[in-house]
Amino acid sequence: MLKPVRLADLMDFGIEMKKLVLILSLSLLTFSTAFADAQSDVTARLKDQLAKLIPGQSPSSIKPSVIDGLYEVAYGAQIFYITEDGKYLIQGDILDLKNRKSVTQQAARKGRAEVIAKIRDEDTILYKPKGETKHTITVFTDIDCPYCRKLHKEREAYNKAGIAIRYLLYPRAGVGSPSYDKAVAVWCAKDRAKALTEAKINNKVDMKTCDNPVKEHLQLGEEVGVSGTPAILLEDGTLIPGYRPAADMAHLFAQRDAQAKSN
């Protein structure tokens, strides 16, 4: 048999529920704050540990990985993992078997995108379309690399497809090599775009020196994981190693644009 309920009892019950909700909210806030503080302490400790291992460089980020007790450390696009106690360092990919994706490569792509986004056009050698620029690629190039030269011969075809090319100079033989000296000379030319074409297509280089960013370009290449030239970077951080014909790249962008519209 149902018993009648007094209004006063309902009001008391409501008050008690409000108290309970308030207590739970405060408890969650306290737990959340304590958890954030604990994470901050771990991150600071790991940062100190890494400073001893890699002096003079600070990681772009340190954060919990998808695996409990393992932290993801990023130096630009260079990703590795360290245990919470700082005793073990792990290099390699973490694979998401359910989604069949590399968690590590996703993080690396994001890191490359962040690096590329900070590069100004004036710090590159730029070839722009005469009309609308639909997409921009950033290419690490070596003047003496045969496939770099092959790609450069298609610069006009790239531009006609609405794709701008931003070159960063990456002499693979390193600082002080003939390729490095050519890269410096090209950068120091009055018309860098013309000088780069002359160097690549006609092997003509007016050797000169000036303040230049070639060492910085080399460092950027290391940071984003360049291992050979040409190396093509898309705006989303995707790294495409090697030569790609302009038609293939235009097709790739068309597919991406269609997919973006469908989503």
Which three-class secondary structure state does DSSP give residue 116? helix
Is 148 an active-site residue? yes
Pairing of strands 163-169, 135-141: parallel
Instruction: Tell me how crowded residue 161 is: count the other CB atoms within 10 A of its CB.
Output: 18
HEC profile for 71-104? EEEEECCEEEEEECCCCCEECCCCEECCCCEEHH
Show the tokens assigned to 179.
């390729």
Is 172 an active-site residue? yes
Q: Which residues contact 45 (CB under 8 A, 6 or more apart)?
A: 86
Counting every residue written for the chain, the total comes to: 263
Options 112, 145, 181, 244, the catalytic residue: 145
Options 142, 155, 166, 181, the catalytic residue: 142
CB 246 within 8 Å of CB 199: no
CB 108 within 8 Å of CB 225: yes
Options 109, 112, 144, 148, the catalytic residue: 148
Show the tokens assigned to 85.
């106690």
Options 112, 155, 172, 244, the catalytic residue: 172
The catalytic site residues sit at 142, 145, 148, 172
